[in-house]
Every structure is written in C-alpha cells, then in structure tokens.
A and B are shown apart, each in its own frame.
Chain A
Amino acid sequence: MPKIEVKIWDVERIAGIPLTVEDLKKSLELLKAEVEEVRGDSIVYEASHDRPDLFSAEGLGRAIGFLKGARKPVKYVVGDSGAYLDISNAPSYRPYAFFSIIENLELDEESVRQIFQLQEKLHLTHCGDRELAAIGLYDLDKIKLPVRYVKVETAKYRPLGYENMMSLEEVLAKTDKGVKYAHLVRKGQYPLLVDSEGQVMGFPPILNPEDNKVTEDTRRIVIDITGTEPRLMMKVLNLITTSVSERSRNPVIKSVVIRGGSTYPVSPSLESRQVKVERGSVKSLLGLDPLAKGDSNLLELMGYNVQRFDSKELVVEVPSFRIDVLSYVDVIEDIAIAYGYNELGSEISPSPHFGRLDTLDRFADYLREVLLGLGLQEVLNFMLTDPDVLTLVSDENFVKVRNPKMKMYSAVRNSLVPTLLISVLVNSAKRRFFEIFEIGDVVKLSDDAYPTYAKMLAYGLVGDKYTLTDGLIVLKSLMKVFGVKYDLRRVSKKALIAGRSAEVLVKEEVIGLVGEVDPAILTNLGIYVPTTIAEINVSKLFSTSSP
C-alpha cells in the first residue's frame, strides 16, 4: 500500500472547500485510505492499491470535493493537438507508446512535487516497477512535435540531474536509474523518443533529459507512457492526465494521433464509461437498497454522473480516472460506502446445515487426548524448518523454498522427527527429563517431485531413564485405547540406532516407527540426553484402523 504525503492547503484548493484534519480523516476512511501521520500542514496516508487516483493531492482533493458536495462529477473534453506520435519503428519488446497533452497549467513547487509523487507511486504499483509501463512528463515548450518512438543503437543526451552529455550506455552504467532499470532494455535496441528536430526527448523507461524537465514555470506538459500492456498503459495515462489537469483553472487537454499500428489510434481516451446496475442487484448484493428512497445523490458523492435512474436500472458514467471500477459491483460498493457501512445494519440467518469438524482433525484430537492422559506435553513447531536438520535425519526428498528469508525456515518439513528433535534441543538445556509430543502436517515429496500431505504424530521421551521400552509402552498404550492391532518389524533408519528401532505395521502397512535416536545425530544437534522417539502417520492410522 503506497504511502502518500500531501499538504492540507493543497488538497483544500483542489477540493474547493476548507478542511479540518478531522474532515480529512473521515473522508480518507471512506476512500479506503488510512492516515499514518499528521505533520504540521502535511498529512501522510496509506492509499488503497485499487485507488491509484488517490496517489496524489490532485485526485484526493477531487474525491473529497465530491464527497463534501463541493464539486460536481467531471466531464473531460479533449481537443486535437494536430500532432502525432509515430511508433512504427518501436522496439519489439516494448512496442507501445501513447501521449497526452495538457495546456494552460499553473504550477508551483507543491504541485510539481505532487505530480512526481503520482508518477513514482504509479510506477511502483500498477506499472510493475516500469516493466509493464513507464511514464514520463516533459515541458512541451522544449519539444518540437511530432515525435517518433524508435529503437536505436545509440544516442547522446544530458540526463536529468547531470551536467554532461552521456551516451545511452553511459546512462545505463553511471546513473542510479540506469543501473536499476537496465534489465528492461536490450542492447542495440534502446527505446528512444526523438522529436521532429532530432533531439532526444526521452529514454524510457530509464531516465529523461534535464533540458525538457517539468518545473514551476512549465505551462504545457506532454506525458508519454511506453510499455508492453496497452490497455493498462491507457488507463494509467488517463489517470495521470486527469490528475495533472487539476492544476489549471481552465485545463486544455489535447490528444495525439498514434501512427504505426497501435491498438488505439488516438490518446488519451478520457471518455467516461457507462456502467449499468440493475436496481434489484443492489438489494440482493447488499441486503438493503440505499437508493430505495429514489435519491441518487449518493452516486454523485462518489463522483459518478447519473445517466438513468429508474425502478429497473441505474446507469452511471464512470470517470476515466476511476480505473478500479470494473463492473456493477464496484458501483454498488460505492453506493454502500456513501450510505455508510455502519448504517447498513446486519443480520444473520441460520445455517442451512449442521456444523462439522474435519474428520481427521477430530481423530487427531482423540490421539492428543490419550497422549496428554499418558502425561506427555504437547508442543508446536513451524512447518518451515532448517533443510540441514531434514537431511541430517533422513534421506527423503523435501520441498525447498526458492526465496527464503532465513535458512532455518527455508524447507518444508517432510516428517515431524526433525522438528521434534528441535523441541528436544530447546528443552534439554533446562530439564533433565521430559516427555513431549506434536501433532502436525508434513509435506512429502516423491522422487519425481510430486507433493503429498500427511498428518503425523510424533513423541519423544527424553532423559537418562528412558529406553526403547518406554517408547514401546506409550505406543502399546495408545494402540490399546483405539483397539488397533499392530506388529513391529526391525528397521534401519538414518535417525535411529540400528537394533534399537522398529517399524510399526497395521494390516501389513507401515504406519510409523519407534526407536532410540542415534547418538551421532543427537550430538550433532547439540543434544546430550538420550532420546527415544516415535512417529505415527495419523492419516494412515485412521484409514487402516477403521473396521
């Protein structure tokens, strides 16, 4: 969730209404944003990922203006700039580019800051850190239209924030942005925006020139968006265009023709979309129809123009900056928000059926009860564990995490024995003897890497006084309670002392093992107390023991 910082006075001048901090907090709550901090005349909030129009003061001021009834829903008029953008020779791996132009702007230090904040947050979120789309803003007075978006082998320009001319390779090697985003471009096919006089207008998605940057003195802005996802790019371009246009009392938005095989012949595309909502669906989704009294004002508070509103249906115009509104349910949510979630009331109908616990969990709880009754204490462990402990204890395959944060949690346990031994280690420093057990799930991995899941039970008897006999006593007592007949068969396992360990068989199927832990393994883990353990596959015990 992006963190946004705005000045309260700046939001006020866009909303067209004076605002207290309280007003702002309440409005932000309705807009799914959470106030993080109020610092003097600044407010910092976490905006919701689905409302990128609120990633700067322009969109926030506009939305609060609607909510407070100080502003009416907007309609954007787009004029023709007469210019074009030629993308016929664009790099094939980043084939799309769109432009929009906003004129008659009145900028100051704060508005420039806000526009760049919006650009940065959009890059981080919806633009996939520039991989899907990259945005650039330029002073149009420093550029000679039309512009070509082309792939080039090399070029030279003075990058933003640097004094010297650099080649594209130098930009990639020497600037911070160049180093960070170099992986997005291909050598010999660098994406470049070149104006009609042959000047480098921009090097997307890396770094733009110093000479045409947007400043407080800029009156006309051209925005480019380049990337791989045209529909997403157009949404983002529309959004940033409408936000920038908030920085003018009489904004003039102009379109550019896209030449050379684009899915969109002209950009931007600010026509509002129509969304139809069946009146019946409001009540059937919410459980109450906030529009029942025939008041469509709730929709205007959320910035929608109402086109039709009758007993059968509701048609609203969704402004182009509301890229989160995808279908009628989004409009219904806005109706509920404007009405107030806490005003909707609540109800709960009885369940159409009885409740029921998972059968295996229920069985496992009986096992748990028996072991507690036998005096063993239950412990828990994470399923994520140390791969070294897993390989120490067994040669069986296990799931490895590709991107772990810590080695000790970088594998998924395939047995409870390793985590039980970790529990033994934790407690053996503090107690001379103890009896513990754990019930939990494991993920086993076949040799051809297909996962299977099992619920397991493991217990450990730790201390000088315990031998395999004690392990077998617990096993026998447990099995007796459930009336399960089992056999023991001598076994050789990596973790256990050969000759002092056994497999447990029910109806000739192996369901577990029991034995004294090999001293080599104990001491390797740092455990210096004799330990007898057993592990039972609860899933198998459940299925094999049923009559």
Chain B
Amino acid sequence: MLPSRQFKILQRLIKAGKGLTITDLGSTLGVRESDLMRDLAELESKSLVRLERTVSYSVKLSELGFKYLEVGLPEERLLKYIQARNGAVPLSSVLTELDFNDDEVKAALGQLRKHGLVVLESGLIKLVKEDLGGFPSEVLETKELMKKHELPVIYKDVPKQVMLLKRRRIVDLSEVKEIKVYPTQQLPRLIDEGRIVEGELITNLTSEVLISGSWKTATIKEFDLNVDVPTRTPRLRHPYVQFMKYVEEILIEMGFEEVKGPYLESSLWNFDALFVPQYHPARKETDVYFVENVNLTVNEVDVLERAGRIHEDVWGYHWRVETARLPVLRTHTTPVSMRTIYERGAGEYRVFSFDRVFRPDTPDPTHLMEFHQLEGIIVGRGVTFKELLGFFKELASRLGMKEVRFKPAYFPFTEPSVEGFVKHPRLGWIEVFPGGMFRPEVTSSVALPAMYKVAAWGIGIDRLAMIVLGVDDIRDLYSNDLEVIESIRIPEVMVRNAQD
C-alpha cells in the first residue's frame, strides 16, 4: 500500500517506459520538485525506483555572441579593415576605429596569424598573403557553430570547439544537475501482481478513520507551515493581579504572613500613633482624603491616650483628640502594621500587607489618587537596621535586581530611616525601598515592650509594577479596557525565577 502520490509516480514511470527527470515528473503530476524528493527517497529505499544523479552543461550564445553574429567576428572585421587600407594599418587605429577592446584585438590577431595572414611590425599590422587559405571557411564554421547555440544546448561532455567559444566569451556555460528516475526491474512485476496499490489521502483525521483503520494505508496530508494562522486570546489574571501574586509569593517564601486592615482609618491610626504631629503638612487637605459622612468609632482608647501624651511630651504642642478622631481614607498601609503590633503584641513575627491606599491627586501617566502599597514589618528582640537592609537586598534580588544602594531618609515614624535604590538597566538608579526602625515613640503608642524592635518598610509598589510589566502609564495598571489588558505580556522576570 502506497501513498497516493507515490503510487502515481510509479504509474507514470511504467507508462513512460524510460527514465524520467524530476522536472518531467513534477510537471506531469503537478507537484513541486522539492515536495517530490521525499517521495522519491522513500520509493528508492523500497527498491521500487532507481535514481541516477547526473551533471550536464547547458551552453547558450552570450550577448557578445549574438552581437558577433550581427556585425561579424573581430578577425573578419580586422581583415576587411586592413584590406581596405592597402594591407597595412597602425595597431592603435584598430582600437579606435573598430572600437575593439584589448581581448578582441588579441583574438582577431591570433586568428589571422594562425593562418599566417598578417605580421605585426613596429606598431603596424601588415597583410603578408594574398591567398586567404583556410581562413574564410573556418570563420564560416565558427558562425555555424554559434548559430546552433542560439537556444541552449545540453552537453554531457562539452566539445573542444565549444570550449574555444566559451574562452572567447561567445557562449555562456552553466552546470545542470539532474536526477533521473528509472523503474527498477522488479517494479512492473510487482504492479502486475497487484502487490502495490494506491492508498487514500487524508486531510484531517476523524474518529471514523481511526476506528476503521484506514489511516494505516492512507497518506495524511502534509501541512504547509507557511500558511499563517490566527491567535486565540487566553483568559488570564489581570496583569496587575499577576504581579501581585508574584510579589506575594516572594514574601511568603521569605516567611511573611499577609495581614489586612480597614480602608477607612481614624487619623489616630493613620498619623498620631505613628508620631506624625497634627501640624505636619502630610496631614493637610492637599495630602489626605477626608470623608464627610462616616461615623468611625475609635475603640482603642489606650492608644489614643498614649499617642496624645507622647505628642504633648515629645513634640510639645497642644494635641487635640478631635483631630485624632477624624476619619480619613488611609494614606498608607502602615496603620495595618501598627494594628498588627497592637493585636499581637510582643513576639517574633513578620507580616506584610499589599493593598490600596489613597492620596489626593489628579490621575496622569505618573500619578494616581488610589494606588497600592507593599508594607511590612519584622518584629522581634534581635531585629536590627542591618537586617532591614538585608531584607531589601533579598527582595530586590528576588525581583531580578541585583544592585542595591542605601541613602539616609526621613519618615516621621522611623529612626534610623533609609531609602533603598536599585539599579535598572535602562532607567539607572531608582528609588524603591523606603523603610526604617519604628521609633520608640511609635512602638510605645501601641504598648510594644521596649526590648522588641520593629523593622518597617512601605513600598510604593506601583512604580515597580510599571517597570516589571513594562507599562509606561500608571493608569494602565488598573485598566478595565480589554485591549490594554490583552496587550500586556507576562514579563520574563515573573516567568523565570529571578534567583536563577
């Protein structure tokens, strides 16, 4: 059982009763030669055909040759020229008057001298014989030979005279590789005995084909890889959600527990407990969204009392409890960390929060009024500033950024405070990791015993999200536009483990 096309090749060969070239086969079967080769190789391996590879030469009159047929060969023209000028002309005039090139002069002189017709003496070509002998008939023969090559002639061996023409560039020669296909001796017999039959061609497999077993004899149609296909749109997590998941995984690998806190906070938790004085510019209407119709009970009366006392004692101003009770949309997630310490108290733990915060702003490509913060604390007796620096380095490295630098910074609730910078291949040093050690005034407002220390950090993570996701407009991070969502690729650093 043979695939249909292979069977047709064999039929064709038998019918022709002689060897066929691939070109012949291809044109009669309507198949490209390149496609035929695989079939032929298979047939040869089954000893059904024999392939004979030959090299021959195609010879065709060149442009120069066509010109000589029209105006005459250089030797003819030179002879006529000398004859017309009493048998002697200066060599130089040949070049100019007849417009020969050097090669043509050489060839013409050579031909005439071969027949002993001319000599070259002190720059003059002289005709030395009246009788032209065999020269005219040779010219005639050459021209006849040239005419024969007006259409290409195929030679297995190229005759000597033709090679001479080639040397004079009267003809062009090119190599022709050819494969000839012959039936093997056993082939006619095998076909007669019906031992070779044609199978069907299958474009698409169907279960019917599989069940019937007809696939065994069929040829499954070859697929043309040049045909373009459409894409399908996979339904994936929103790119920002993918990024969140990626970062959260990193923190969980580093042993952090996720914590949550309320979006609406009293100013107590958002500012006062964090030692931000009530007159601090960060508490102004330009920097905080206040809400107008919310009742927010401050249940943590002890925190309120302690924070107030600390502000009065350390900052030394008249602290107002009403200001501390004002509800706001949280401007950072640090209150979440503070509430965690308040609830868990003394102990060794590390928690993180990845959530939304709000600050008055008008959205543009680099600003939003609502964005995410990645916040965390490491609490314990042996926790140090150096450990915070170590955490930043580890986090940066897991995000695929190896170089980290630290600068002194100021945040009202941490001391020492630091700003970590990472080196980005395109953007240079970028500011990404703010943090520090919670001040004693801060930890004592939530009654954490003095021997416990807190390394805290709060990263404006959207900047990193933009870099990682390759998004230039921060608003696209929160897109509800399917075109935007579908256009964002899953970044390399998220797919591979950045640690590798």
Spell out A's residues near B (CB within 8 Å).
29-32, 48-51, 124-126, 128, 131-132, 228-229, 231-232, 235, 284-288, 326-327, 329-330, 332-333, 336-337, 341-342, 344-358, 360-361, 365, 368, 372-373, 375-384, 397, 399-406, 409, 412, 419, 422-423, 426-427, 430-431, 434, 436, 438, 441, 443, 445, 448-451, 453
Asked if A346 contacts B245 (CB within 8 A), the reply is no
CB < 8 Å neighbour of B478 from A327, A380, A404, A445: A380
Known A353-B257, A405-B360, A450-B295: A377·B482 in contact at CB below 8 Å: yes
Within 8 A of A (CB), among B237-255: 237-238, 240-241, 245, 248, 251-255
Within 8 A of A (CB), among B359-407: 360-363, 368-370, 380, 382, 384-387, 389-394, 405-407
- In the assembled complex, the Cα of A30 lies from the Cα of B482 at a distance in Å of 47
**Residue in chain B with minimal CB distance to A349:** B387
CB < 8 Å neighbour of B235 from A355, A377, A426, A431: A377
Binds A, one of B129-137, B206-214, B315-323: B315-323
Give every chain A residue within 8 A of B370 (Cβ-Cβ): 382-384, 409
CB < 8 Å neighbour of B258 from A48, A132, A337, A356: A356
Asked if A448 contacts B252 (CB within 8 A), the reply is no
- Number of B residues with CB within 8 Å of any CB on chain A: 90
Asked if B481 contacts A372 (CB within 8 A), the reply is no
Asked if B252 contacts A355 (CB within 8 A), the reply is yes
Asked if B408 contacts A232 (CB within 8 A), the reply is no
Asked if B264 contacts A443 (CB within 8 A), the reply is yes
CB < 8 Å neighbour of B440 from A29, A327, A380, A445: A327
What are 23 sample pairs from A and B whose C-beta atoms fall under 8 A apart? Answer: A49-B280, A132-B279, A229-B279, A285-B416, A286-B385, A341-B418, A346-B390, A348-B387, A348-B394, A349-B382, A354-B255, A355-B253, A356-B252, A357-B252, A361-B258, A377-B482, A399-B293, A402-B291, A412-B291, A423-B480, A430-B483, A436-B482, A449-B293
Give every chain A residue within 8 A of B384 (Cβ-Cβ): 284-288
Give every chain B residue within 8 A of A228 (Cβ-Cβ): 318
Within 8 A of A (CB), among B16-65: none
Asked if B349 contacts A353 (CB within 8 A), the reply is yes
Give every chain B residue within 8 A of A404 (Cβ-Cβ): 289, 360
Give every chain A residue within 8 A of B393 (Cβ-Cβ): 346, 348
**Residue in chain B with minimal CB distance to A336:** B416
CB distance from A359 to the nearest CB of B (A): 9
Known A375-B235, A399-B294, A430-B483: A229·B318 in contact at CB below 8 Å: yes
Does any Cβ of A come within 8 Å of B71's Cβ?
A: no
**Residue in chain A with minimal CB distance to B240:** A380
Give every chain A residue within 8 A of B290 (Cβ-Cβ): 401-403
Q: A341, A383, A449 — which one has the most chain B CB atoms within 10 A of its CB?
A: A341
CB distance from B448 to the nearest CB of A (A): 14
**Residue in chain A with minimal CB distance to B297:** A450
CB distance from A365 to the nearest CB of B (A): 7
Known A333-B416, A348-B390: A427·B255 in contact at CB below 8 Å: no
Give every chain B residue within 8 A of A453 (Cβ-Cβ): 262-263
CB distance from A299 to the nearest CB of B (A): 15
CB distance from B93 to the nearest CB of A (A): 81
Does any Cβ of A come within 8 Å of B494's Cβ?
A: no
CB distance from B174 to the nearest CB of A (A): 58
Known A49-B281, A453-B262: A445·B417 in contact at CB below 8 Å: no
Asked if B237 contacts A372 (CB within 8 A), the reply is yes
Asked if A403 contacts B289 (CB within 8 A), the reply is yes
Does any Cβ of A come within 8 Å of B329's Cβ?
A: yes
Asked if A333 contacts B291 (CB within 8 A), the reply is no
- In the assembled complex, the Cα of A50 lies from the Cα of B380 at a distance in Å of 27
CB distance from A133 to the nearest CB of B (A): 9
Give every chain A residue within 8 A of B237 (Cβ-Cβ): 368, 372, 378
- In the assembled complex, the Cα of A125 lies from the Cα of B480 at a distance in Å of 40
Does any Cβ of A come within 8 Å of B441's Cβ?
A: yes
Give every chain A residue within 8 A of B260 (Cβ-Cβ): 358, 360
Beyond contacts A348-B390, A400-B293: 18 other A-B pairs, Cβ-Cβ < 8 A, are: A126-B279, A228-B318, A285-B437, A332-B416, A333-B417, A346-B386, A347-B390, A348-B391, A351-B350, A356-B258, A380-B477, A380-B478, A402-B290, A403-B289, A412-B291, A412-B329, A449-B295, A451-B294
Q: A235, A337, A409, A423 — which one has the most chain B CB atoms within 10 A of its CB?
A: A409
CB < 8 Å neighbour of B480 from A356, A380, A405: A380
Q: A287, A355, A400 — which one has the most chain B CB atoms within 10 A of its CB?
A: A355
Closest 6 CB pairs of A and B: A351-B255, A287-B386, A231-B316, A287-B384, A355-B252, A348-B390
CB distance from A462 to the nearest CB of B (A): 10
- In the assembled complex, the Cα of A292 lies from the Cα of B66 at a distance in Å of 100
- In the assembled complex, the Cα of A53 lies from the Cα of B485 at a distance in Å of 49
- In the assembled complex, the Cα of A31 lies from the Cα of B315 at a distance in Å of 21
Asked if B479 contacts A380 (CB within 8 A), the reply is yes
Does any Cβ of A come within 8 Å of B415's Cβ?
A: yes
Asked if B369 contacts A384 (CB within 8 A), the reply is yes
Give every chain A residue within 8 A of B360 (Cβ-Cβ): 403-405
Asked if B385 contacts A287 (CB within 8 A), the reply is yes
Known A351-B254, A381-B480, A431-B482: A443·B263 in contact at CB below 8 Å: yes
Does any Cβ of A come within 8 Å of B292's Cβ?
A: yes
- In the assembled complex, the Cα of A372 lies from the Cα of B241 at a distance in Å of 13
CB < 8 Å neighbour of A400 from B236, B292, B389: B292
Asked if B292 contacts A341 (CB within 8 A), the reply is no
Asked if B293 contacts A355 (CB within 8 A), the reply is no
- In the assembled complex, the Cα of A65 lies from the Cα of B318 at a distance in Å of 36
Does any Cβ of A come within 8 Å of B182's Cβ?
A: no
Does any Cβ of A come within 8 Å of B453's Cβ?
A: yes
Asked if B263 contacts A441 (CB within 8 A), the reply is yes
- In the assembled complex, the Cα of A31 lies from the Cα of B409 at a distance in Å of 8
